[in-house]
Structure 1
Amino acid sequence: MTVATPQPLCQFQVPETAWVESHLPRFTGAERDAVIQRIKTLLKERDAVLVAHYYVHEDLQRIAEDTGGCVSDSLDMARFGQEHPASTLVVAGVRFMGETAKILSPEKTVLMPTLEAECSLDLGCPAEAFEAFCDAHPDRTVVVYSNTSARVKARADYVVTSSIAVKLVEHLKAQGQKILWAPDRHLGHYINETTGADMVLWDATCVVHDEFRTRGLEELKKAHPEAAVLVHPESPAGVIAQADAVGSTSQLIQAARTLPHPTLIVATDSGIFYKMRQAAPDKTFIEAPTGGHSATCRSCAHCPWMAMNGLHNLLQVLEEGGNAVQVDPAVREGALRSTQRMLDFARQQHTAVLGHGDA
């Protein structure tokens, strides 16, 4: 395995979650109820469906549930939007999720509460630098995480989410293929350790998961010996090594439901707790520690860009119709090819599991 740091890497400024949340409009109880009801009415009037990620505020997740929308990880968000008959998709998440919806459903209007909600992995993998990186390794199959721009997806052979990344790389390894992986180096390292594939890794990280700390987690486990540890594979290797379950957001929610432990320490974005508490209402959930002993926050596990999605801008986009996601048609063609391969592979895996279960 080789971890390369191509130049130039994108430089970006991360908004502080506390700043974002302090600048969101505050609603009283009655105002909040009225806004939520207005959003539900507008979704119906505009033939729109809300597709929300696990990491956005629970108010938005609840609205999606109540109105026949979707709350899920990026793979199921993509599938749901493609298959749903609504003419408008409202994607509550970060920009690449809106782009993916548009890639798969170009005939539909795709709106987002804000187009400023970025992703550090997307920003950390600028297309021109990535294309040069691919040119330098022409013998490798290019596999990119879904947390990337449409243009990066267009250069890839396969797009994956964390839920199917290991299985896809295992599949490619069995065919004798060598892998170029981007952008998350922690997830790439985890895939490499799990599969033993010949991999070259792009060097980028998630601003949330990269902050989980090995020593802090060790100390928290000592304080809660009854707890299981659930870890997203975008986390550092020392954190993953302590996990009782490693997986995508959907897989971690399933682990929360099935593990026998009464207490769960969770190393992923804290927005997931809304669904975890639904899955396991009798269990106690603890955020994994971030930042170390000198940090001002002992656990700051919430994406600042996800925090930009709120009731106020969801209502605004439904009332005004702005924030439409656009993808260049030429770019979309290549991005659709690699993204559709992801969906087709996921369907094959699902069919194989069902077939094995029936046998």
Structure 2
Amino acid sequence: MSELIDKAALRDTVQKYLSEAEESLKKPVVDNQALRDEIKALLQEKDAVLVAHYYCEDAIQELAEETGGVIADSLEMARFGAEHPAKTLVVAGVKFMGETAKILSPEKTILMPTLEATCSLDIGCPEEEFSKFCDEHPDRTVVVYANTSAAVKARADWVVTSAIALDVVQHLSDNGEKIIWAPDQHLGNYVQSQTGADVLLWDGACIVHEEFKAKGILDLKAIYPDAAVLVHPESPEPVVEIADVVGSTSQLLKATKEMDNDTFIVATDRGIFYKMKQASPNKRFVEAPTAGSGATCRSCAHCPWMALNSLELLRNALRDGTDEIFVDEEVRVKALKPLQRMLDFKKS
């Protein structure tokens, strides 16, 4: 693995994206209500629907709900868009989500507030290097997380989300298959530990979830002793081990509705608090600490690329037709196969 990808160069690339993201966030405040009204009118005019990820800012999530769109995880966003009659999908999230929507809905126009919104997992799994890695292990079934480019998906046998990863890998393992897992090593490690599958891990991580620390969460637990700890499996193993619930974004949201606890320590992107508070207004949601005691974090429980999505950029994309997603047709057709395989598996 170390021979295939220069870790120092990767860190420099991620830092470059982070610096650009931080600079892009230094934008003037504009009239929120006027923008919302303009976007609503443009959605109708352009026969468009807004699909937003749970990690986007509250204003975008709220607008999606008000206009008949959806707030969801990456796959549900794409599935909703594929089944919706609108000719244009506006995907508020990060680039791989827009690509997934285009893979499933090639006939539709896919717009994003900004194509600069990417993902550390996507950046950390370049198609050429990953393809070489797969070629070195031809006896293994290639399973990739949804947080990857269309080109990486095209190289895979299966695409999975965190909600279905355990079921898919267990199914493959039961059939005697050995697996290559990419790109998130923490999620892959969790899947391997739960299924006992023979898994070869790609070395990638989410910059948000990797910063959650067990010690910080335990310190917070001392303040809120009756709180349940909710953790996304992209987090490091020590964090996963102290969780009351480990699950995908939608699974964590469901847990807050069903559990009797009135306080939750949440170790995932704080964008999910919008839906958690909406579903359980009388419960308390506490952001899990990141990066340890006194450290300076890169994300502080919020993806800097998700934060690039704004009402203003959303309006611009609709009004001007900018930041449109395109996927090479040959790549799209190849990427559709592992995506469809997962969708069919989920139905069965």
Q: How does the TM-score come out when normalised to structure 2?
A: 0.95
Which of 15, 31, 36 does residue 18 from structure 2 map onto?
Answer: 15
Distance (whole Å) between structure 2 residues aligned to residue 253 and residue 278 of structure 1: 10
Identity %: 60
**CA offset at residue 41 of structure 1?**
0.8
Question: After superposition, where does 1:56-135 map in structure 2 within 5 Å?
Answer: 56-135=56-135
Equivalence for 1:246: 246
* Contact persistence 2:120–2:205 (CA under 8 A): yes
Distance 1:230 1:16, change over 3 A: farther
Q: Secondary structure at the match of 2:324?
A: coil
Distance (whole Å) between structure 1 residues aligned to residue 260 and residue 126 of structure 2: 43
Q: Secondary structure at the match of 1:15?
A: helix
Distance (whole Å) between structure 1 residues aligned to residue 161 and residue 4 of structure 2: 25
* Contact persistence 2:25–2:308 (CA under 8 A): no
Amino acid at match of 1:145: Y
> Residue deviations 1:228-272, cap 9 Å, x none?
000000000000001111111100000011111111000000000
Question: After superposition, where does 1:179-258 map in structure 2 within 5 Å?
Answer: 179-258=179-258
Identify which range, 269-278 or 12-21, moves more after superposition. 12-21
Amino acid at match of 2:278: Q
Equivalence for 2:339: 339
Distance 1:185 1:339, change over 3 A: same
* Contact persistence 1:265–1:285 (CA under 8 A): yes
> Residue deviations 1:200-231, cap 9 Å, x none?
00000000000001111111111210100000
* Contact persistence 1:73–1:249 (CA under 8 A): yes
**CA offset at residue 25 of structure 1?**
3.0
Distance (whole Å) between structure 1 residues aligned to residue 299 and residue 317 of structure 2: 32
Equivalence for 2:285: 285
Identify which range, 156-165 or 334-343, moves more after superposition. 334-343
**CA offset at residue 299 of structure 1?**
8.2
Count of aligned residue pairs for this structure pair: 342
Distance (whole Å) between structure 2 residues aligned to residue 76 and residue 85 of structure 1: 16
Equivalence for 2:330: 330
Structure 1 vs Structure 2 CA RMSD:
1.6
Distance (whole Å) between structure 2 residues aligned to residue 308 and residue 227 of structure 1: 31
* Contact persistence 2:111–2:324 (CA under 8 A): yes
Distance (whole Å) between structure 1 residues aligned to residue 256 and residue 239 of structure 2: 18
Q: Which runs of 5+ in 1 are unaligned?
A: 349-359
- 1:25 matched to 2:22? The reply is no
**CA offset at residue 279 of structure 1?**
1.4
Amino acid at match of 1:105: S
**CA offset at residue 347 of structure 1?**
1.8
Equivalence for 1:140: 140
Distance (whole Å) between structure 2 residues aligned to residue 299 and residue 203 of structure 1: 20
Distance (whole Å) between structure 2 residues aligned to residue 328 and residue 247 of structure 1: 33
Amino acid at match of 2:4: Q
Equivalence for 2:162: 162
Q: Secondary structure at the match of 2:18?
A: coil
* Contact persistence 1:17–1:303 (CA under 8 A): no
Distance 1:326 1:21, change over 3 A: closer
Amino acid at match of 1:8: I
* Contact persistence 2:183–2:203 (CA under 8 A): yes
Distance (whole Å) between structure 1 residues aligned to residue 47 and residue 101 of structure 2: 16
**CA offset at residue 24 of structure 1?**
2.9
* Contact persistence 1:6–1:202 (CA under 8 A): no
- 1:310 matched to 2:313? The reply is no
Q: Secondary structure at the match of 1:144?
A: strand
Q: Secondary structure at the match of 1:82?
A: helix
Distance (whole Å) between structure 1 residues aligned to residue 97 and residue 3 of structure 2: 25
Q: Secondary structure at the match of 2:4?
A: coil
Q: How does the TM-score come out when normalised to structure 1?
A: 0.92
Amino acid at match of 1:64: A
Amino acid at match of 1:63: L
Q: Which runs of 5+ in 2 are unaligned?
A: none
Distance (whole Å) between structure 2 residues aligned to residue 44 and residue 101 of structure 1: 20
> Residue deviations 1:163-204, cap 9 Å, x none?
100010011111111110000000000000000000000000
* Contact persistence 1:253–1:275 (CA under 8 A): yes
Distance (whole Å) between structure 1 residues aligned to residue 136 and residue 299 of structure 2: 39
Distance 1:295 1:17, change over 3 A: farther
